[in-house]
Amino acid sequence: MFELSPEEWTAIMLSLRIAITATICSLPVGIAIAWLLARGNFWGKGLLDGIIHLPLVLPPVVTGYLLLIWFGRKGVIGAFLYDVFGISFAFRWTGAALACAVMSFPLLVRPLRLSFESIDRRLEDAASTLGAPPFVVFLTVTLPLALPGLIAGTLLGFAKALGEFGATITFVSNIPGETQTISAAIYTLTQIPNGDAAAARLVIVSIIIALIALVASEWLSRRAGQRFHGE
């Protein structure tokens, strides 16, 4: 019988909490970076694009180690945040959310950037000639037209954040109830006797959630494309 234990439910709910937090917090930054890469023409654009996509090619452990150095209690940024604001990321679920946001950020930015690049600039110019300020044009014309990429990037980023393991466990360890996500729980269960059944249940849950996110991304992107582009 497929029945999850309280510990398994805790790992699932914590993973969802971390993935949702990571996605929501990185979304405004992702929109800004995607627009900058799509429309900007400045020195170092290629370097910025490379830095954004670096987590995709770096070993996740390296990313987690860098986060530990920068955002740990004694890190340059982490020490400042803790001393001034009392904010701590290391070995807390907020740190796991930060690690997941960094690892999923490229998957959020890429589809959105492509959507911005595919927009007919004449539509934005038409809105500007009618007297709309640039920010209003962005909110009422640009962003709605980029909605398919926004949806795809958001859900792909969420799916990536949900399954992140290497950077998270390096940065915030594997603390049950605090930082132990589904991936970390599966890893722990495979290391103990008679843990295979519980690990298999969490694997099935992970597959189901990831499939739902991917299918929803495709369906919502298609619907948005039909509505705004007539595709």
Res 20: pLDDT: 94
CB 13 within 8 A of CB 6: no
Q: 30-34, 40-44, 106-110, 128-132: which range is least confident on average?
A: 128-132
- Residue 87 sits at the vertex; the CA angle it makes with 85 and 90, to the nearest 5 degrees, is 150
Q: List the CATH number of the domain containing 112.
A: 1.10.3720.10
Residue 49 lies in a domain: no
Residue 52 lies in a domain: no
Query: What is the tally of structural domains in the chain?
Result: 1
How far from 159 is each of 39, 127, 164, CA to CA, in Å?
27, 35, 9
Residue 26 lies in a domain: yes
pTM value is: 0.88
Nearest residue to 91 (alpha-carbon basis) of 19, 184, 181, 171: 171
Q: 27-41, 81-95, 152-166, 209-223: which range is least confident on average?
A: 209-223
* Residues 122-179: tens digit of each pLDDT: 887 887 887 778 888 888 888 888 888 898 899 889 989 988 998 999 999 888 888 8
Q: Is 132 exposed, middle or buried (0-12, 13-18, 19+ CB in 10 A)?
A: middle
Residue 46 lies in a domain: no
Tell me the average pLDDT of the chain: 87
Domain containing 120 equals 6-37+57-229
